[in-house]
Structure formats: structure tokens, C-alpha cells
Amino acid sequence: MRRLFALSVLISVLSMSVQSRGQVFEYVGSTLWSGVKDVQVVDNYAYCAVQNGLMILDILDPEKPEIIGRYYYSEGGRTAIEVVGQFAYLTAGTAGLVILDVSDPSNPLYIGSYDTPDCAVDVAISINGAERYAYVADIGSLQVINVTEPASPAYIGFYSAWACDVEKVFMDGNYAYLALLYRIDLTGRLEIVDMSNPSNPNYIGGYGNYNIDIQGLFIRDGYAYIANSWYEYPGSPFHGLLVLDVSNPANPTFITRAATGHPATSITLSGNYAYLTELLTLIIYDITNPANPNPVGSCSGARNYSVGSSVSDDVFYGADGGLNLFDVSNPSSPALIGNVARGETHGVAIRAELACRVGSAPGFQIFDISDPILPKPRGSYETQDIAGSVFLQGIYAYVPDGSEGVKIINISNASGPVLVGVYDNPSGGARQVFAYEDVLYVGIDESGIDIVDVSDPANPVLVGQSPIPSYAIRGIDVSDGHLYALASYPLNQMYIFDISDPLHPITKGTYDIEYPNGIFVAGNIAYVVSDAGLGILDVSDPSNISLIGGYATPDWAKKVYVVGNTALVSVNLSGLLALDVSDPANVTMLQSIDTPGRAYDIAVSNGYIFLADVYSLIIFRMLQSEIPDDGEYLPPDFALSPNYPNPFNVTTTIQYDLPYQTDVKIDFFDLLGRKIKTLNEGLKPAGKYSILWNADGYSSGIYFYKMTAGEYSQSRRCTLIK
């Protein structure tokens, strides 16, 4: 057996083609936005800097915040926001500063941008007469940008601190207060810079000998209030609230500190109170006397630590990946009243006009994608673990829920999905699933594959285990009577099993693959993605698998989906790639897009690509050059899907795929093998089809149906219950 990717192969393959040769897909929309990094409240609106760009909430009723406007920006990253007048100033990581017109919060519009030299992570706006300046913390320096003309922002000057990154900026009068992080040992300090001449910033004073770690910063009335995650005082670590006297910027002095149980992560002030977050808790201090901050109340309830915050009209808004809203009208008794934009998206599957998403809370969600550009939320089910994959068959969704087993959910009513059964696997955490006829193959942490009979979804039964040593399964696919499974490190292998008897798989072949992540099988070709990229394998003879091509990706390749001669590959921090695999020995790049989050799972339906990008579900339209005239994508291989519903009463739907034009017929047989009916479909072009079988004239029992398309044939079983 041979390693799939050697370093020399990777380098040579990558050097073949790094340019895009044409557009295969285009962005059309996204939903399930999360990853809130910062928030600012103005009037009745909360402006949230999220991983995907800008999200605007109507907070007239804080207990029911409503998303009313969004602006998608694919270059997202370490985002922060400042809203002044009709403009929102948004940092976008390596893409710099983005300026949006938010005069109509329901329709934010792009106005201009400035590409800073490093990575923009924070911004503060200052108005000096008729001039308006943006002070951008750009990691390597503080960049000063004239934004008086927002459509044409212009560089003015910069300030650089030796061997330090600029992480935070707060403007007060003519002074910029900078949170610095020393690059060598990741300790920090506060520096104060005179900005009276924006083109020539001058250092005035500082505090801390690289012995503090500033996570939040607020300046008011000559005092600096710091959310500190680490401070050597004196000689021992401290985290919490740190108060400095900065009335003389040239000589900031220590006033007091208030320790917290965990590192402090953000701070904001309103009235006589300071609102500090640490881990999952909001702590409110009375700062009437800045030298003696008095903790008056606290409240837990956030699911993560806040990295940005804002207070308005007795409501505290904490950005912690989602947005938490706390009622602070009584500072001694704050209460969590709502949250929005929660949950990471790790997996997606499509059935007809439904998209099912899995990830963190709420776990499992259903969307109506009859209009893919505007997916509409339907129902949801709360999983206990962070679900990473989902498989749909008929009216059931199979959701691996870690140590809680596999949840079997009836989705026939999309607005009210119902849990009908649970496979409580005894051997470990469930991570991957694939259903084939009445058999469920479950990838288990450290335990290979469990084989489960789900003919009765309410009572799944373990009937066997695959002969794979005890390693986690990273990917499963079934094609033409064979099961393909990817076993993770340290085994690092692909297994092929003959499942002509689904309950008793027989090992037919193996192949070494370092750090595999996903697999898609079309005919005699297996497309496997790993940490190194895409590998293309000839599996026509499972006992003699051969590598016939590959492509090195810029980051870990997570999943692959093949449409015709195009392989769609999700690549962790590098987004979505479209590769031409018509010649496996010479794979070339067609198009790539760097999405805002971390690209995980892929599903394709009716000419649309659905990408689980952790912080959102992103939807792309495949362009006409890749789609046959009937508007459907070209199936890569013949397929006969299980009928649904099954069992059924009188009528059931049967779906099948054709990769090219051919004659099709479907024969029905009773339990004794007697042919009872034939549906002649005739000559059909390539595409996806569904037919309805009306069994009104037949008695209850088990039946078989067989599809014949040219030289291809496949049979399945169905159950009629009257």
C-alpha cells in the first residue's frame, strides 16, 4: 500500500495550476449568521460586527431582537465596529477598513474601503472640525485614515510600537489609547499617543512593563478602565478590572484593581456603572468613586466569553459569538432576557426543498429552500452535543449526537420535526452516518463502524460491526453495493466493503491516506480529501486501488462533492474550490472563493451549492456552463434512492438519477418474486427524476422494485401497510 500524498507530489501538483480559469459559481445569499465579534447600539438598532460582515438588529423590543439588515463581506475576520452618524466603520481583518451607509438599517450599502497593510482588528472614529478620521488598530501599527469622504478614504499617517501588535484603540479628545501586545511573550502594555496632528502621531506616555493583557478598554473623565486577562501584581498573576489615572497622559498611574474569578474579556461604561465580562458572567461595578469600584450585581447565562459590548436604555449587549441581551435596569440583579445569532454550522444535507443544518445550539435545524436565495427557517431539534454531520433518507434525518448516540428525526412536518428513535451506541461517540436501505452505518469515535437495523426507526438495533480497528471514522459513502470508510490517524486508511449483504460487510480492499476527512464516490472513481488536498483513486478493482491524480489545497480539505467533471472542495480557512477533474492526471483550478468562516460540509441541489461555513450557511448558484438545459445538475452516476415514505400507505415516491440519456423502466415484485407491475418511463435525458407508485390494488406486505436503465440495474425493498 502507498501513501496518497507525498510532499513532492503536492508541490508538483500545486505548481501546475494556481490560477482561476473561469467562474463556476456565484454567491447568492447566506443564512444562520453567527460569530458576533463586536456590537454598538444606536437608537433602536444593534449593529453587530460578525464573521460574515455586518448584521443589524431591531431592538425596539429587546426580548425579541429581529434581524432587519445584513451586509455580506467575504473577507471577514477579526471584526470590530464603530457607528457614527449614517456610517458604520467595520474592520475586516486582512481586507482593512470597510465603510457602509446605514441610514436605512434594513439596507446597508457599501460606500468605500481602505486596504490597510496588515490586519485590521479595531477602529475608533474622531471628528476634528470638518474632518473625520478613522484610527485603525492594524496589528503591526495604528493606521490613521481620513474618512471625510467615505467613498475615497485616504491614508494620513501611522504609529508603530516596537515589537508590539496594536490590538485595541480608544480615542478620547486628541489622545489615542492603545492596547499593545508584545510579540515575543504575548504580554502587553497601554500606550498613549498624541493625535492632535493626525499625520504625525507622537508617543506621550504608557503603563505596564509588558506585564498586563488588555482585552477591553474604556476612557472617561481622566480614568482608564481596563478589562485585564493577566497582570503581574505584585509578582503574581491577576485578572479582572484595572483602573488607571490618565488625567496626565504623560504619566498614567495605578489607582486600583478588582479581581475576578476568570480572565476579563470586555468592558463598557454607562452612567455610574462599569459592565465587565469574564468567561460566562457579566459583573456590574458601581464606579461613582473610581478608586473604589464596588461590585453590585452579576449574572451568568452567556455561552461563551464576550469580546465586545455595549449598553443602551438599561440593556447590556454582549458579543460572544452570538449576542446576549441582559436587563440591567436594576444593576444589583441583572437578568438574561434574550440572545440571537447563536450556533456554528458544521454539516448540511438536502432533500427536495428542505435543507437540514447541524452544528452547535440548537443542533438540528430545517430550512425551506424552495427559494434558495431566501431560505426560510422551519423547525429545529436541540441536540446535546455539537452535531457534525447529518444524513437524510425518505422522511428521516439521522443526526450523530456524540455520546448521546444517533438521533432519528421524522421531518415529514418540517415545522415540527419529531424524534422517533435513538441509537444509543455503547462503544463511543457517534460522528458520521450513512443510511443504505434499512441499514444505518454509524462512524464511532475510537470504535470503527456500527451496523444498525433501522427498518423500525423507533427501535434501531445493533446487528454488527465492521472489521475496522478501533479508530474514529472521518467519512462514509456508499456506491454500487460497496461501502467506503475513512479511518483517521493513526490508522490513516480507506476501507472498501462489499455490502451486497448490508448486515455482513466483507472487506475488499484498503488504501493508505494520511489524515483523511471526506469522500465522494462516482462510478469507479473515489474522490478523497485530506489535510493535504484532493486525491483521485481508481477503485474499479478494490483489491488493487490506484492513485490516478490529485490537487494540493492551501489548507485542510474537509469535504468534496462531484458534479459532472467538477469537484467542489471545502477547504477549512480557504473557502470553496471548484476543480476540473475531467483529466484526473491534470486537475486544474476553475474557481476559488475565500469564505469568511471555516468551510466544512457541502451539499448540492438543483443547481445550488450549500456550504456549511461554521458561522453561516452560504448559498452559491452554479452557472449555466455547468448545468444541463433542464436546470438540474448532472448526476455523476446511476442511483436508485429508497422510496419515501417507507413503510407507506397506498402511495410512495421513488427517485432515481441518470448520468446520461437512456431507456428506463421500473418493475415491481411481490415477496415470492412474481412481477406485479411495470412502469415504463421510456427514453429519459440525464437528470434526477421521481415517480409515484400507487399500490391501492395490492395487499399489505413486503415488495421489491427494480430499476433498469440500459445495462444498469438496482433493486430495493419497500413495505406497504394499509
Mean pLDDT of the chain: 86
Question: Which of these CATH numbers, 3.90.1640.10, 2.60.40.2550, 2.60.120.10, 1.25.40.10, describes 639-720?
Answer: 2.60.40.2550
Q: Do the Cβ atoms of 175 and 249 come closer than 8 Å?
A: yes
The pLDDT assigned to 651 comes to 85
Q: What is the mean pLDDT of residues 421-434?
A: 83
pLDDT band at 76; cut points 50, 70, 90: low
d(CA 636, CA 657): 9
What integer pLDDT is reported at residue 1 of this predicted model? 35
- Minimum mean pLDDT range among 113-127, 367-381, 495-509: 367-381
> 554, 571, 600: which is closest to 10 by C-alpha?
554
Mean pLDDT, residues 635-657 taken together: 84
For 122, other C-beta atoms within 10 Å of its C-beta total 26
What are the sequence ranges of the domains in the chain? 1-31+470-628, 35-160, 343-465, 639-720
pLDDT of 438 reads: 86
Q: Is the pLDDT confidence value at 296 over 70?
A: yes
CA distance 674 to 607: 40
Q: What is the pLDDT of residue 387?
A: 78
Residue 103 burial (CB count, 10 A): 11
Q: Identify the pLDDT of residue 232.
A: 58
**Mean pLDDT on 26-49:** 87
Q: What is the pLDDT of residue 625?
A: 43
pLDDT tens column, 172-187: 999 999 999 887 777 7
User: What is the average per-residue pLDDT within 67-89?
Assistant: 85
Name the strand (E) or helix (H) holding 7: helix 7-16
Cα radius of gyration (the chain): 29
Could you tell me which residues come within 8 angstroms of residue 349 by beta carbon, excluding any fewer than 6 positions away? 355, 356, 390, 391, 392, 397, 603
Asked whether the predicted pLDDT for residue 12 surpasses 80, the reply is no
Q: What is the pLDDT of residue 563?
A: 87
Task: Please give the CATH number for the structural domain made up of 343-465.
Answer: 2.130.10.10
pLDDT at position 196 is 95
| The predicted structure's pLDDT at residue 307 | 74
| Residue type present at position 569 | V
Among the residue ranges 142-146, 246-250, 636-640, 658-662, the one predicted with the least confidence is 658-662
Is it the case that residue 547 has pLDDT exceeding 90?
yes
Percentage above 70 pLDDT, the chain: 91
Backbone phi, then psi, for 696, in 5-degree steps?
-60, -35
Mean per-residue pLDDT, 502-530: 92
CATH of domain 35-160: 2.40.128.630
Contact assessment for residue 48 and residue 36, using Cβ atoms and an 8 Å cutoff = yes
pLDDT reported for residue 25: 85
Q: What is the per-residue pLDDT for 686?
A: 74
pTM of the entire predicted model: 0.72
What is the reported pLDDT for 34?
79
In this predicted structure, what is the pLDDT of residue 408? 95
CATH topology identical between 35-160 and 639-720: no
| Mean pLDDT, rounded, for 483-493 | 86
The pLDDT value given to residue 62: 87
How does residue 17 score in pLDDT terms, banded at 50, 70 and 90? very low
Identify the weakest region by mean pLDDT among 123-137, 268-282, 364-378, 451-465: 364-378
Per-residue pLDDT for 5 more than 50? no
Q: What is the C-alpha to C-alpha distance for residues 8 and 26, in angstroms, rounded to an integer?
A: 33
- Give the tens place of pLDDT for each residue, 554-609: 999 999 999 888 999 999 989 999 999 999 999 999 999 888 888 999 998 878 89
Q: Which of 3-7, 193-197, 322-326 has the lowest mean pLDDT?
A: 3-7
Least confident of 51-60, 231-240, 320-329, 370-379: 231-240
**Dist CA 394 CA 389 (whole Å):** 17
| For range 55-69, the mean pLDDT | 89
The CATH superfamily holding the domain 1-31+470-628 is TolB, C-terminal domain (2.120.10.30)
Stronger pLDDT, 389 or 34, i.e. the higher one: 389
The C-alpha cell at 280 is 460566562
